[in-house]
Amino acid sequence: MKKTLLVLPVLLLIFAAGCGQSNQRSTSQKESVKTSQTSHKAKKASAKKSNGKTSASQSSAQSSSQNAASTTSQTGQKAATAASSGTTSNDQRLATLKQAVFNQIPNAKWPASYPVANSQHLNIFATGDQANYSIFFSPGQSALPYNDPTLQNINAELAIQKKTYASAADAQAQVAPARSTQGLRQVAIGDGIYAASQGAAGSSYLTWNEGRWTVTVKASAVNGEDPLPLAKQAVAWFAKNALPVPDTHGTVDLAVTDANTRQNQITWTEGNALYMISGLEPMHTIQVGTATR
């Protein structure tokens, strides 16, 4: 009986110790879970902040890219609008001057287009009537009224002229006859065309035929000029652009030398009328010539 009484207190002590350890383990596990949950929440918060910053950065980058693209597009549109406006303004000016010329000279020869720099304005001074006339084209810094008196003193860059004769034969007699190129050295000038090369009086010439037209390019041998580059430019232009059709024969005379005179000339006849387009610059002269009807 005494032994039994002694064993009971010992068992109670062991049971109490076990319960204490269990409680401690439970408390420890709870604290571990809390710590893990707190760490997980912190990671989530950090991830949200990081995602927020990344999203803001991406949004800012996209906004900057869109703004840059918009600015580039607007710049391109402004440039295109300015160019279109300049072309439209030149076309309107040409149409207005055409009406003024036709009021004075009905059915005059007139170019469908006339190239002028955006900073300049086309001005016209015309004299004569339907039978005989001269129309002078002079681009300038200001848009002057039609037939402004000050234009008489300007060396016009281009002129379109007509002179009527008693007969078609008389008119044709004013055009230089076709030149024979037989026996002359032939030079390739493009588009399968060969020009006859010859020299005389300090000048060199290249001559070839384009349909009813005889084209001649003149250069100064004394100044070391070469007619070949200009001849090639002319052939390339005529390959895509046609001159008016002369009744029998017409001539195109182009000069490499810049003499500040309208020495570049296109001459042809229609019936008893002789027409001439003359200009300061060779390529500009034939460009306007092919646009004129």
Q: What is the pLDDT of residue 87?
A: 63
**Is 99 inside a domain boundary?**
no
Q: Which of 293, 277, 276 minimizes the C-alpha distance to 285? A: 277
Q: What is the pLDDT of residue 61?
A: 42
How many Cα atoms sit within 13 Å of 25 on the Cβ side?
Answer: 5
Mean pLDDT of 28-33: 36
| CA distance from start to end of the chain | 146
**Is 244 inside a domain boundary?**
yes
pLDDT top residue among 281 and 178: 281
Structure pTM?
Answer: 0.71
Mean pLDDT of 190-203: 94
**Is 236 inside a domain boundary?**
yes
Count the domains in the chain. 1
CA distance 157 to 166: 30
How many Cα atoms sit within 13 Å of 121 on the Cβ side?
Answer: 13
pLDDT top residue among 118 and 232: 232
Q: What is the pLDDT of residues 174-191, one digit of tens each?
A: 999 987 788 899 999 999
Quote the percentage of the chain above a pLDDT of 70. Answer: 70
Weakest mean pLDDT among 2-6, 115-119, 143-147, 284-288: 2-6
**Is 24 inside a domain boundary?**
no
pLDDT top residue among 20 and 157: 157
Q: What is the pLDDT of residues 31-77, one digit of tens each?
A: 333 433 434 343 344 434 444 444 444 444 454 445 444 444 454 45
**Is 184 inside a domain boundary?**
yes
Residue 135 pLDDT grade (very low, low, confident, very high; cuts 50, 70, 90): very high
Q: What is the pLDDT of residues 74-93, one digit of tens each?
A: 544 544 444 445 567 889 99
**Is 202 inside a domain boundary?**
yes
CA distance 220 to 9: 138
**Is 201 inside a domain boundary?**
yes
Q: What is the pLDDT of residue 166?
A: 98
> Which domain covers residue 201, as residue numbers?
105-291
CA distance 120 to 228: 32
**Is 79 inside a domain boundary?**
no
Q: What is the pLDDT of residues 11-27, one digit of tens each?
A: 222 233 333 333 333 33
